[in-house]
Amino acid sequence: MFRFDRRLLMNFDWVLLASVIIIAIMCLMNLYSAIYPNHPAGTPVYIKQLYFFLMGFALIGVIISIDYKIFMRWNYFIYGTIIFMLLFALFFGKSQAGTQRWINLGFFNLQPSEPAKLMLVITLASYYSRKDTGKGFTLKELVVPISLSLCPFLLILKQPDLGTALMLAFIFISMTLFVKLKIKTLAILLSIAGSAVPLAWEFFLKPYQRQRIETFLNPESDPLNKGYHIMQSKIAVGSGMEFGKGYLKGTQGYLDFLPERHTDFAFSVWAEEWGFAGSFFLLSCYFFLLLWGLNIAVTSRDKFGTLLVIGIISLITLQTFINLAMVMGLLPVVGMPLPLFSYGGSSLLTTMAGIGIMLSVRMRRYQKPS
C-alpha cells in the first residue's frame, strides 16, 4: 500500500518557492516592457516565458517527489546523455549566427549546454561525496573530475560558446575549492591556471572573442559598432537614477537603442524603468537566494546533498554576477543570461531543475543518511 510521508510536506521550503515566484513575476513584467509597444509577429516572448515557467514548476513537482539520492546512482547515465546531446547539437543541430548550439524539439529549441551545467554539478557532487576521505584530495585524485569537466567544456567551446564553457570551469573551481585539497595540489592548480591564460589568449580564443575583451577595455573607441552594446546598456542603467523612469517608459528600449533587451540585457531594461530602488530589490532577491541556499546546504543530511546545493548556488550566483557585470560594462559581453530573469527556455528550465533539487534536499533533511 502507498504511504505518503507527511514529514515531506511539513519540511517543504515555501520560502524558497515564494522567492522564485517573486522573481518570475518581475521577469514577466520586464519581458512585456522589453517588447512594448512594438510586439513582434507570433507569440510574444513574455507568453512563451510564462509557458516555460509553468513547465519549470511542473519539473520541480517531479523532482521533489523523488529522493535526490537517485541522482548519485544515475549521475553517469545523466552525464552520458548530455554528452550525446552536445555531440548531436554540434554535428546535426540548428545553426544560428555562426554558432551551432540548439536541438530543434518542435515546440522549442533546446540548448544542451544549459543542462550541461547542472549535469556537471551532479557529477562532481557524486564523485567528491564518494571519494572524500577527509584528508584532502591529491592531484592524482582530481584527474577524474578534471577529465569529466574537460569533455563538455571542449564540446561547448567548439560550438562556439565561450561564456557557457567558462561557467563549467567556474563550477569545477567552486566545487573543488569547497572540498578539502592538499596545499601542494592547490599550488599546482593555481600555477597551471595562471600559465593557461596567455596560452588561451594566443591559441584558443577566436578573433571575435579577443575583440570583445578589447572592446570591454575601451568601449568608447568604437561606440557605434563593437562598443555599441556596452555603451547603450550603461546609458540605460545610468538613466534610471534613483527611482527609474516608470514602468513602460524606458526610452532606451522603447526607441530600440538597447539590443538584446529581452535576453542578455534584460536587467538594463529593469534598471532604466525602476532605477536604483527597483534594482536593489531585484538584487536583494538573488542575495536572499544565495543565503537561503547556503542554509539548505548547512542543514543537509549528507555530503552529497550539501555538494549539490553548493554547486547549484554557485551556478546561479556566478551567472548572476557575470550578467550584471556585463550589462554595467565591468566584464566583456559573453552572452550570459540572468537566471530566472532573461528570456530563454533552456536556461530557465535548467535553473528551475536546480531549484527543485534544492527543495528535495531541504524536504529530506530530517531523514538519517544512508
Q: pLDDT by residue (tens digit) across 55-96?
A: 999 999 999 999 999 999 999 999 999 999 999 988 887 777
CA atoms within 13 A of residue 39's CA, in its CB half-sphere:
8
Average pLDDT, the chain: 85
Q: What integer is the mean pLDDT of 321-336?
A: 85
Is residue 1 very low, low, confident or very high in pLDDT (cuts 50, 70, 90)? Answer: very low
The reported pLDDT for the residue numbered 2 is: 40
The reported pLDDT for the residue numbered 41 is: 62
By the 10 Å C-beta count (0-12 exposed, 13-18 middle, 19+ buried), 239 is classed as middle
Residue 263 scores a pLDDT above 90: no
The reported pLDDT for the residue numbered 139 is: 86
Is residue 203 very low, low, confident or very high in pLDDT (cuts 50, 70, 90)? Answer: low
Q: What integer is the mean pLDDT of 259-267?
A: 85
The reported pLDDT for the residue numbered 318 is: 93
Q: What integer is the mean pLDDT of 173-180?
A: 89
Contacts for 204 with CB less than 8 Å, ≥ 6 apart: 157
Is residue 162 very low, low, confident or very high in pLDDT (cuts 50, 70, 90)? Answer: confident
Residue 100 scores a pLDDT above 80: no
Q: Distances in Å between the alpha carbon of 316 and those of 129, 297, 355, 369? A: 21, 14, 10, 27
Instruction: Name which of 164, 349, 163, 333 is nearest 259 in CA terms.
Output: 333
Angle at 196 between CA 190 and CA 202, to 5 degrees: 160
Contacts for 240 with CB less than 8 Å, ≥ 6 apart: 271, 272, 273, 274, 275, 276, 278, 279
Q: What integer is the mean pLDDT of 254-268?
A: 81
The reported pLDDT for the residue numbered 232 is: 84
Report d(CA 24, CA 143) in Å as an integer.
39
Q: What percent of the chain has pLDDT over 70?
A: 88
Instruction: Name which of 327, 319, 326 is nearest 344 in CA terms.
Output: 319
Write the Ramachandran bin of 250: left for phi over 0, alpha for psi from -120 to 50, otherwise beta.
beta
Residue 351 scores a pLDDT above 90: yes
Question: Cell for 46?
Answer: 513574455
Q: In the chain, what are the domain boundaries?
A: 1-65+222-370, 75-205
Residue 166 scores a pLDDT above 80: yes
Question: Cell for 340?
Answer: 530566472
Residue 194 scores a pLDDT above 80: no
The reported pLDDT for the residue numbered 369 is: 61
Residue 183 scores a pLDDT above 90: no
Q: What integer is the mean pLDDT of 357-368?
A: 87
